[in-house]
Structure formats: C-alpha cells, structure tokens
Amino acid sequence: MAFLRRISTRHLVLLCTGVVAAAIGVTALAIAASSGGPTPPRKPLAVAVRDALRAPVPQGVTARVRFTNHLVDSSGIQGSNPILTGATGRLWATSDGRLRIELQSERGDAQIVSDGKRFWAYDGSSNTVYRGTLPQRHKERAHRTPALAQIERVLTRIGRRVALSGAIPSDVAGQATYTLRAAPRKAGGLLGGVAVAWDAARGVPLRFAVYARGQSNPVLELEATDISYGPVPAGDFAVSPPAGARTVDLTPGHRRAKAEKHSALGFKPVAPASLAGRPRSGVKILRAGALVTYGHGLNGIAVLEQRGAQLGRTQLPTVTIGAVKGQELETPLGTLIRFERGSVTYTVVGSVTRQVAEAAARGL
C-alpha cells in the first residue's frame, strides 16, 4: 500500500520543498527512529523488497503523527505557516487511496484530505484552501510480485546513481521494520540523502526522513507515535474546509502550442542560454506562467515567471537583485528567491546555495 503524498501549504514552501521533497515526493506516514522494540531478521535488500511487495495489503491505517521540521528557521519569517515549526496530529489512510492528515501547532492548524483522485490542503494560519488533482495511473493489470532476479536488476541499475545501504533491521512505533538509506552518488545538489522504513510484515512505509548534505540529523521527518491497522470508518474522511476560506487552484494547466506561448502569457519570458553556469534545459508554458529550467537533476535551477503575481503575505528576508528588492528563503536543502521587475514576478529555486541562487537571479 502506498501512503506517499506530497504535503502542500503555501506556494513558497511548496516551491522550496518541492526541490527536495519533492523532495519532498513525501511519505504521508512516517515514524520515529528506533525505540527498542522488535526487529526483523537480517536479509538482503532485494529479498526485503520482494517480501514487502507480496505482503497482504491492510484495509487501512490509523496513526498519531508528529512532524519535525529543521528545514526553515521560522524566527526570521513573518506570517509563517504553522508546520514550519513542526506539528503533531493524526493520519487516516485506506487501500483505495483515501487519505487524511490533520496537524496542529501553536501557530495554527493544517489539514490534507484526498480521495485518491483529488486533494485539498487547508492552511489555518491564512484561512486558505489549496485544491488540485493527483496524477492518475492507467488501469492496472492483476498484481504480480516481480521475481527476485528482476528486483535485483532494478536495484543494480539504481545503485549506479544512488548509494543504497541495504535493508537495515529496525523498529518503528513498536513494529518490526527494515530501513533503507539512499544518497545520490553525484550531482545531488544540497540533498544528502533520504531514509525510509517499512513494516517488515505488511510492507507499509512507516518512516521517511530527508537529510541535507553533510548533516547527520534529518532536516525533515514525519513521525507516527502510535499506529493501528484495520478498516477506517468513512466518517473519518467526511470533512470539509471552512466555507469562507480563500481557494487556490493548484491543478496544472496543459501545454499550449509553441506559436501561442508568448501571446498567452502576455509577456516574453526571460530565458538566457545559461544561468549560474548551467545550460538552459527547457521552457514550458503552464497555467501559472513560464517555467524555465537550467541544468539537470537535483543540481538544476528552475525559474518561474508570472505576470501580475504577488509576493504574498509571508515576509521573508530581503535581498537586492539589480535595482529591485526581493525575498529570499535559504534552507539546508536549497534556496528560493522571489522578486518583481516591471509587471512580472520571478521565482528562482534550486537545491543550491544562496550564492548560486543569487547569481542566477541577477543573471535574468
């Protein structure tokens, strides 16, 4: 059962953590580190993966969760979202794709609800609800667990780009688990690696953590302090955002024909051939504006150009880009810069240092 969903609140946080964690693709269910409970027997990674894939699928999961966030120092951010400082809450998920995560903190509440096709995320600090759709897979054939040799070949291919730890016996919230640690071998930007733990008997992901390069402690971790398996009442998903909440549509727009790009935007995108030493790798027209990318993989930089967009109510530290003042968010996993020039707002984001991001912004 896959309980992996992206957590999305404000656009700034979405853009910044999307580089990760997307960096955060983030598991919706994660558990604390080893607590002295039962551990499973040692086995090769391929065997542990095969056993997880062929394990019986639970009807549902109910858990209490705790989200820890060391990604952002919120002391320098005015109007920041509650989950920037961490939060506790509950999680419900079912085998048919329904999901609900409810988080509470001293700064306000946040909630994410999905029926497997659509989702909404509510930010209590700004009384804003974000709505969108999830990518839909084609109709699946009857599930058949891959042969061990197939899994070994896939892991070998992955291992050429990513260093894999193997299946480490561990325990999470009283459940015997296997933990896998993975780190990019090169061109990983500021990402040091990720760790995921799954229930050895059920194959359910139970822990996910993200590490910055050179750091031994995770910068992002979502923990469940208690967990149970079994049917989840339909009423647990029967919730709605407040009627008066402001709505933001996150549904991606379709690409337009090349001849229509500039006229559809109302401005010509700024897209130099290279930026901060990285060659231009793509230009796309989205509903939100023009997306120009530089470089490849986690070491790349993305530039979103929007007409009429506002910097928003979240006040970040200021930075000077040419003759204008902008906002800058520096984290262990990457940097985000937003500034307005003329009637166009530019957002520069990447898993790069502040100095590299500023050089890219000034190159526009």
Entry pTM: 0.78
Give whole-number Cα distances, 150 to 55, 154, 353, in Å. Answer: 18, 6, 39
User: Which numeric CATH code is attached to 258-362?
Assistant: 3.30.200
Domain layout of the chain by residue ranges: 11-249, 258-362
pLDDT attached to residue 188: 84
Answer for the pair 329, 316: CB distance below 8 angstroms, yes or no.
yes
Fold held by 11-249: outer membrane lipoprotein receptor (LolB), chain A (2.50.20)
Check pLDDT > 80 for residue 25: no
Check pLDDT > 80 for residue 219: yes
Answer for the pair 115, 2: CB distance below 8 angstroms, yes or no.
no
pLDDT attached to residue 12: 35
Question: Which amino acid makes up residue 331?
Answer: T
Q: Average pLDDT, whole number, for the chain?
A: 83
Q: What is the mean pLDDT of residues 130-158?
A: 85
Q: What is the mean pLDDT of residues 19-30?
A: 35
Question: Which amino acid makes up residue 87?
Answer: A
The whole-angstrom separation of Cα 361 and Cα 364 is 6
| Residues 363, 73, 249, 95, CA torsion sign | positive
As a whole-number percent, the residues of the chain with pLDDT over 70 amount to 79
Q: Pick from 79-83, 125-129, 173-177 the range whose average pLDDT is largest.
A: 173-177
pLDDT attached to residue 274: 96
Q: Which residues of 18-56 are buried (b: 16+ CB within 10 A; e: fewer)?
A: bbbbebbebbbbbbbebeeeeebeebebbebbbbbeebe
- Paired strand residues for 319: 326
Q: What is the mean pLDDT of residues 114-125?
A: 91
For the purposes of burial, counting CB atoms within 10 Å of the CB of 97, is it exposed (0-12), middle (13-18) or buried (19 or more)?
middle
Who wins on pLDDT, 136 or 250? Answer: 250
- 258-263 own/partner pairs: CB under 8 Å, 24+ apart: 261/285, 261/290
The whole-angstrom separation of Cα 113 and Cα 89 is 13
Q: Could you give the count of Cα atoms lying within 13 Å of 262 in the half-sphere of its Cβ?
A: 6
